[in-house]
Structure formats: C-alpha cells, structure tokens
Amino acid sequence: MYHHVKKLMYTVRVDAPDPRFGNMLLEQFGGANGELAAAMQYSVQGLNCDDAARKDLLMDIGTEELSHLEIVGTLARLHLAHMKHDRDAAEADPLIAIAGGGGVNLYNSMGSPWTADYLKITGELDVDLRSNIAAEARAKIVYERLIDFCDDAGTKDALQFLMTREITHMKAFAAALESMEKPPFSIGRIAPSAGIVNQFYNDSTGTGEMGEIDTRGPWNEGGDWEFVESSAAPGRNGGGNGGEQPADAALESSRPAEPDAIHESLVEHLRDLLHAERQLVKALPKMAKAAHAEQLQDAFELHLAETEVHVERLTEILEMLGQGAARPKPCKGMMGLIEEGEEVMTENRKREPYAADLNLIAAAHKVEHYEIASYTTVRNLANQLRLPEVSRLLQMTLAEEQNTDLLLDQIQRPLTSVLGRPSAIM
C-alpha cells in the first residue's frame, strides 16, 4: 500500500530559477536513467520476486525512488515556472511552455515520452540485481553532470543528496547479490560449453592506422584464458575460405546420446514417479487432518485433487510411450519422505499448533522439492526425445508442483511471524 506524506524526502530550495536547467532536470524525471524508470523497475522486480527478503529490499528502494521522483519534479517545476509568463524563459523549451504550461510531464530533456522499454526486468533475481547496480551507476553519473551544469546552490544541495542515495542503493543491491552466494558467472540454469567459455577470440588483428596493436591483459590472458588468433580468419570453422576447423579447437558439439537409452531412462523415472504420486494420494489426507491452520488444510486438500490428476497423467504418458502395462517402480525416495512426515505428525501431538504446522510445512516442502526435481528431469528427457505432447503434460504437472511449493511458502511466513512473538513461545 502506498501512502503519500505531504513532505518531501529532502526539502528543496531554488534561489535562481533557470528554465534551461529545468529542462535538463527532466532527464531524471522521465528519462531512461531517471527516477520513474528506477521506481518502476525495482517495484515490478519486487512483485515478481519469490524471495521474501530480497522482495522487501526491492519494494523499499522502489518506493524511495518515487520519493526521489517527487524531489526532481519539484525542482524542475520551480526552475520551469517562469515559462508561464516570461517569453524569454518560454523559448528555452516551447514544448514545455506551450503544451505543458511550464510544468513537468513524463518526457526526457529532449521531449521524448517515457516508455516501459527503459525497464530491465528478466525475472532472474541475480540478473536483475546486476541490472539495478548498473542503473544506479548510470543515474549517479547523470546527477554528477547535472551538478556540474548547475549554478544554483539550493538545487545543488538536493542533487548532491539524490546522487549520494544512488551509491547507497548500489551498496544494498551489491550486498543482496553477494548474499545469494552464487558464483559470478553462473547465470541461469544451463551451463556454458566447456572450453569455448574460456576462449578469447582475437578478432581485431594487425596494426591500425593510429598505431593500435593487439593488446594483452587479464581479460584475455592468465588464469583459464585461451587466446585464440582470429577465429574468423581462413583455416578456422566458418571463416575466410571455409577451411575446416582444427582438431584441437574444442568447438564441436557434444555427441548425441542414444535415443533408446534416453527412452529407457524416461520410462524408469516415470514408473518411479507413478509410485511416488500414488503414495502421496494416501498420505495427503493424513497431512490435511493433522494441520491446524485452515489455510494449510485447504492447501493439502487442493493438492490431493491435483495429485490424483497427476497419477492419471502419468498413466496416460506411459501408455503413449507404449508402456500401458508398466508397473510402478518402488520410489524409495518418496517412501523415506513420507516416513519422515509420519514421524513429524506423531511428534506434533506434543507441540503447539503454530509449531506443529511449521514442521508439517517443512515436511511438505521436502516432498515438493523432490517432485519438482523429478518432473524437471522427465520433462527434459521428453524434450531430448522430441516428444512435445509428453513434455507438455509433464510441464503442466511441474507447474502445479511449483505452485504448491510457493503456496506452502506463503502459508509458512505468517506462522513464522506468530511463532516469533513472545506470547507464542511462553
């Protein structure tokens, strides 16, 4: 929920209004690196974020950027106000003076309208945090240049405040990224091709007209780097005269696996999953009965209905693969998880309701993570075999398992909050 407090985050003062400088300020109001773009980028990233802690970070900073927008808009308005009645001032920007009455609008300093194309949102938290660090760095430079072109002391003070907060946000985003403890180049889920990832192609060869030469540095030598001379030159794959690639170029694709082996593996995993889902059909009613929170009971009952559909889908898929009479393969992993869940339910009889539900959710999370991993595997195998309908059905189930895991997380958070209160643990 947003709430407007009738007080600027930083009080602004303009002693000597300058319409031309007011126009420059619009770059930070409706420009690509401006406060509105930052507010929208971080807020939308926050809405998409499943990580509760980092979602809070994104929403906090996104909200602060709206406060910065108010500061910039107020500054710009004070500098542009004379356009309403002063011809010389109006000539600084006729668009603002004539169409906008000397006020601000969602335009940059060149009169181009604000656009959502400015936003960098991928849905991958680590990638988005890196984009945010870069965005804050660009905004810092814009404020620095505005300060350089400003003669008004009060305006400079406000711009100095805004510029400083960009560094604060960079520090917060960088700390959040570091706390994820991901290797710096582990972007996404699919690993890069070994060998190629460490090759630096020397594609600007020779000596230039101004004496430029090939240079070496930590970006192309030392460590794991392999310096490759002119990858597009004759004699290399795809370049020059179309010559063949050297045997040691390490650029060939991986050898395809035998389809029969992949098919056999897919069937085995599906049989394992069929047994796992049938076990869950029996276990979920017990978990629903053991839950205290009504929302948790409903979640287990809903997932029971979904699990019954999962059993039907798996049976259908096995028939599509010519395994109509295939028997389930005992799933030892799920058997262990269900046994652990039964122990939790037994021990929960001695616990307070909040604590009991938290432990029950923890057991359910483990089950969901096991299923998510299993369905991801079989979907990928189906993709490898070019079985689109099988892949589609498995993806449907995978999405339902992921949604259940998210629902459990949403139920867990308020229970954790209640348990943390002194009255809940006395």
pLDDT tens digit at each of 426 positions of the chain: 888 999 999 999 999 988 889 889 999 999 999 999 999 999 999 999 988 899 999 999 999 999 999 999 999 999 888 877 777 777 777 767 766 676 788 888 888 899 999 999 999 999 999 999 999 999 999 999 999 999 999 999 999 999 999 999 999 999 999 999 888 888 887 788 888 889 998 888 777 776 677 788 898 888 889 988 875 554 444 444 444 444 444 444 445 557 889 999 999 999 999 999 999 999 999 999 999 989 999 999 999 999 999 999 999 999 999 887 778 999 999 999 999 999 999 999 999 888 899 999 999 999 999 999 999 999 999 988 889 899 999 999 999 999 999 889 888 877 765 544 444 433
Beta-bridge partner residues of 107: 113
> What's the confidence (pLDDT) of residue 62?
97
Distance between CA 399 and CA 3 in Å, rounded?
A: 36
Q: Are 81 and 17 in contact (CB under 8 A)?
A: yes
Classify the C-alpha dihedral 353-355-357-363 as positive or negative. Answer: negative
Distance between CA 375 and CA 395 in Å, rounded?
A: 8
> What's the confidence (pLDDT) of residue 417?
58
Beta-bridge partner residues of 375: none
> What's the confidence (pLDDT) of residue 98?
64
> What's the confidence (pLDDT) of residue 88?
75
> What's the confidence (pLDDT) of residue 61?
97
255: phi then psi, degrees, rounded to nearest 5: -70, 130
Q: What is the pTM of this model?
A: 0.61
143: phi then psi, degrees, rounded to nearest 5: -65, -40
> What's the confidence (pLDDT) of residue 36?
96
> What's the confidence (pLDDT) of residue 133?
97
Long-range contacts of 40-45 (CB under 8 A, 24+ apart): 40/116, 40/119, 41/118, 41/119, 41/120, 41/121, 41/131, 41/132, 41/135, 42/132, 44/119, 44/121, 45/121, 45/125, 45/128, 45/132
Helix then strand then coil, % of the chain, to nearest 5:
65, 0, 35
> What's the confidence (pLDDT) of residue 419?
47
In 3D space, the residue among 150, 133, 127 whose CA is nearest the CA of residue 72 turns out to be 150
202: phi then psi, degrees, rounded to nearest 5: -85, 80
> What's the confidence (pLDDT) of residue 102?
67
Place of tokens 């339902």: 400
